[in-house]
């Protein structure tokens, strides 16, 4: 008799532990992977959960375990995102499922709509292309237009980037002194790598449209995902997905954007 495949799944409940489920590869059409978003039976209903462990063993009677019902049409959450969620869970004394699942947009937590999502993505891509053409860019300051202090700060940022390790850097200057021009010029050198992703965080939603226009002036050909609580759920779900698969190289948003999976993240502003 073949060894059963058991996955441990966490759900959005105030519970410390995950729950064991059987994984039927033939029925689900793929092998289990840590970070997958799945639909599972839970009590008398169904819930969305995230796989955090794959094994061939359970401490419970295998015959009494229920089976995973479906898998979301998503790649698994990447290991860096899961480590961040695990840290947040422990730091804030919050269940791991309570930490991970709420970060997933509602669009991806409706199993009844999962089959329709590919068509939604195609339609959204056409709509986004039209919107991008309509958005006016503004505030482009080329590197040749930087003053001596701005150029000095930019050089320091670029030299530090050669270290190839995490560093926290403070760019200090008065309002209107051109800090945005400096960090956008710095990001342009990072984004020369076609796979690199950068995260730009804003302190409040109201600042997002102005900075979006500014970023587009610097990066007219780069895919940008905008994430904050004021955008429509489907729009947020698609932006989150594009960041997750690495399609969006620039992720601009409020603090909720910090919990978005970004597999190729190279810089945070």
Report the pLDDT value the prediction gives residue 155, as an integer from 0 to 100: 92
Residues 144, 148, 150, 152, Cα dihedral to 10°: 110
What tens digit of pLDDT does each residue of 3-31 get? 889 999 999 999 888 999 999 999 999 99
Antiparallel, parallel or unpaired: β 250-253 and 224-227: parallel
Taking only Cα atoms into account, the Rg of the chain, rounded to an integer number of angstroms, comes to 21
Token readout for 154 is 């930019």
Please report the beta strands in the chain, taking only residues with DSSP state E, as ranges in sequence order.
6-11, 19-22, 37-42, 45-55, 70-71, 197-201, 224-227, 250-253, 265-268
Report the pLDDT value the prediction gives residue 15, as an integer from 0 to 100: 87
Token readout for 191 is 């984004």
For residue 155, the SS3 value is helix
Q: CB–CB of 190/198 below 8 Å?
A: yes
Residue with tokens 């270290």: 163
Beta-carbon count within 10 A of 98 CB: 16
Mean pLDDT (10-residue bins), the chain, 269 residues? 88 92 94 97 95 93 94 94 94 95 95 90 76 70 90 89 77 86 94 95 90 91 92 92 96 93 94
Instruction: Give bridge partners of residue 39 from the DSSP assignment.
Output: 48, 70
Please tell me the distance from the alpha carbon of residue 168 to that of residue 64, in angstroms, as a whole number: 50
- The residue among 245, 237, 266, 247 whose CA lies nearest residue 113 is 237
What tens digit of pLDDT does each residue of 195-207 get? 999 999 999 999 8
């Amino acid at each position: 008799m073949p060894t059963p495949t058991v996955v441990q799944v966490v759900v959005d409940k105030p519970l410390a532990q995950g729950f064991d489920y059987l994984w039927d590869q033939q029925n689900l059409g793929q092998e289990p992977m840590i970070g997958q978003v799945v639909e599972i039976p839970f009590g008398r209903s169904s819930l969305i959960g995230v796989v955090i462990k794959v094994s061939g063993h359970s401490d419970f009677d295998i015959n009494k375990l229920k089976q995973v019902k479906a898998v979301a049409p998503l790649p698994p959450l990447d290991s860096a995102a899961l480590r961040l969620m695990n840290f947040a869970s422990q730091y804030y004394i919050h269940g791991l499922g309570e930490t991970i699942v709420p970060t997933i947009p509602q669009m991806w937590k409706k199993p009844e709509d999962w089959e329709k999502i590919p068509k939604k993505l195609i339609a959204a891509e056409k709509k986004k292309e039209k919107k991008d053409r309509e958005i006016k860019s503004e505030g482009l300051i080329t590197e040749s237009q930087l003053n001596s202090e701005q150029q000095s700060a930019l050089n320091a940022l670029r030299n530090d980037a050669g270290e190839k390790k995490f560093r926290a850097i403070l760019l200090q200057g008065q309002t209107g002194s051109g800090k945005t021009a400096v960090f956008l010029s710095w990001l342009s050198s990072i984004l020369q790598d076609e796979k690199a992703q950068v995260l730009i965080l804003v302190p409040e939603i109201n600042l997002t449209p102005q900075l979006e226009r500014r970023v587009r002036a610097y990066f007219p050909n780069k895919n940008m995902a905008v994430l904050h609580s004021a955008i429509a759920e489907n729009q947020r779900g698609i932006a989150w997905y594009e960041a997750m698969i690495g399609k969006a190289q620039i992720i601009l948003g409020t603090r909720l954007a910090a919990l978005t999976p970004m597999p190729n993240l190279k810089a945070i502003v």
